[in-house]
Amino acid sequence: MQTEEILSAGIDIGTSTTQLVFSRMLLQNTGGFGKIPQIKVISKEVIYRSQVYFTPLLSREEIDGKWVDRIIKKEYRKAGMKPADLSTGAVIITGETSRKKNAEDVVEAIADVAGDFVMATAGADLESVLAGKGAGAAELSRKTEKIVANLDIGGGTTNICLFENGNVLDTACFDIGGRLVKVADGKITYVAPKIRWLSEQLGLEIAEGQNVEVKKLKVLTDAMAEILVEAVGLKDADVFIEKMKTNHAITCQKKPELITFSGGVASCFEEIGELFRYGDIGVLLAQSIRENPIFQKGNVCKAKETMHATVIGAGNYSMNISGSTIEYTEDTFPLKNIPVVKIALEQPEDIADLDEKLHRAMQIYQESRGEGRQIAIAMKGLKCPSFTQIQEIAEKLTEQYDRECEPDNVLIIVLEEDIGKALGQALHHRIKNRRKIICIDGIYCESGDFVDLGEPIVSGKVIPVIVKTLIFNG
């Protein structure tokens, strides 16, 4: 079978650390002789891991974009990589860093350095999924047929993702992390607001300027570990859960049968020696989690990746490959951060009011996002449509899109069923040269998602697509 190799990058600018990985992916046509080509990622290999850097900040409110730029350029040189070498990848700003006031500006500035692939601040839910996949929790749930919870514990947040058979069941995020209390020269130099509240509820006095008292801080980290036990459903939740959540708690009623840990704190599980060598409570929190009696009984499995889980998830797992029956206008790619509007098209009877459905969906979108912005239209599509049905779908889509959208907007259609080529050609016939089109299949997405469309690969037959969730920008 014919294969093609592509290179991918993952860059994570997190609360505490900034890091990069480069991966090699092998694509193969798995459709078989005489069948419609199906290009799939058949292997993924991390070929370079960067040094882990403390995320540079100008202040508690701003990222130092110039230093981030230097870090990325330095690691590209060390890896022997150039932006032109990369077919896909992701740059994400995660954790508390995604809430900095200049986060979006930094992301856009990095685009010239990193290459043409997804650039975005990642909300808690997306970060939870990426970390869980990068840590190997999704794969573990598939192999063992058990429900697996991954807890990615970083500097500012703990991102939780629950997997079953490789699929995401639920996500959550809590303001629990290693750098929420910072220390230097035997003094406490920073206490995050929620940790200040938690310490008060525990009857502790932990404040900036105090001398470091290990016993007092250990009481705090033990309580933080207990909150994480409750967060994954291994114990009934107490009053602290509501206050300590970043966005939302786990609502799924299923309980994890296996648990994995990733992130900077998880990488400290085996460490001994100076407790505050990183200038925070990360090592102490790692000890509290390891010593927690419920976690000890909770079938904890070693994660495939700890420190690099999120960045590997971004570089390796955020990409899908479109089907081979695609149609597109040349010189259209890449397109980034395109919001998705999904309309119902699964049965032949759905065709009749397809234009009305698009109009209603666009109205809702324009109310929340504003007029004029580029969108992508997602549909399931008909499994085996007739020639007449394809023509009718194309007619309704082009007429309504022309009424709703600006002339320079690309008509982007994202389908699940294998009809991208046929529908794309019908759209081309009607649109002529009025506007560019992209019609791809083999991709599932929903309203509220965003898509990034890379340059066509494998001799122009497939397009790398990164589908992101609604929960961007926190």
- Residue 11: in which H helix or E strand, if any? strand 3-13
* Closest by Cα among 271, 260, 256 to 306: 260
pLDDT score for 474: 31
**pLDDT score recorded for residue 192:** 94
Locate all alpha helices (DSSP H) within 81-135, ordered by sequence. 103-114, 124-134
Q: How confident is the model at residue 83 (pLDDT cuts 50, 70, 90)?
A: confident
Q: Tokens standing for 412?
A: 């982007």
Terminal CA-CA length for the chain: 43
Two structure tokens written together for 118: 């997804």
The share of the chain scoring above pLDDT 70, in percent, equals 83
Do residues 148 and 270 touch, judged by C-beta distance below 8 A? no
Higher pLDDT, 178 or 104: 178
CB 351 within 8 A of CB 395: no
Rounded mean pLDDT of 120-124? 60
Cα-trace Rg, the chain: 24
pLDDT confidence tier of residue 298, bands split at 50, 70 and 90: confident
The more confidently predicted of residues 183 and 122 is 183
- The pLDDT of residue 176: 95
pLDDT at position 319 is 65
With a CB cutoff of 8 Å and minimum separation 6, the contacts of 147 are 141, 162, 163, 164, 169, 254, 255, 256, 257, 258
Summarize pLDDT for 126-170 with one digit per residue, the tens: 778 878 888 899 899 999 999 999 999 988 889 999 999 888 888
Q: Residue 19: beta bridge partners?
A: 12
Question: How confident is the model over 407-433, as pLDDT tens digits?
Answer: 899 999 999 999 999 999 999 999 988
Q: pLDDT of 325-371, one tens digit each?
A: 899 998 898 888 788 888 989 999 999 999 999 888 877 666 545 55
Question: What is the spatial distance between Cα 308 and Cα 10, in angstroms, rounded to a whole number?
Answer: 10
Q: What are phi and psi of 380, to 5 degrees?
A: -70, -50
DSSP H helices in 186-326: 193-201, 214-231, 240-244, 282-291, 293-296, 309-312
What is the spatial distance between Cα 206 and Cα 180, in angstroms, rounded to a whole number?
A: 12
Q: Is pLDDT of 39 > 80? A: no
For 200-223, the pLDDT digits (tens) are 999 998 999 999 999 999 999 999
Q: What is the pLDDT of residue 230?
A: 95
Q: DSSP letters along 321-380, please?
A: E--S--EE-SS---EEEEEEEE---SSGGGGTTHHHHHHHHHHHHHHHH-TT---EEEE-
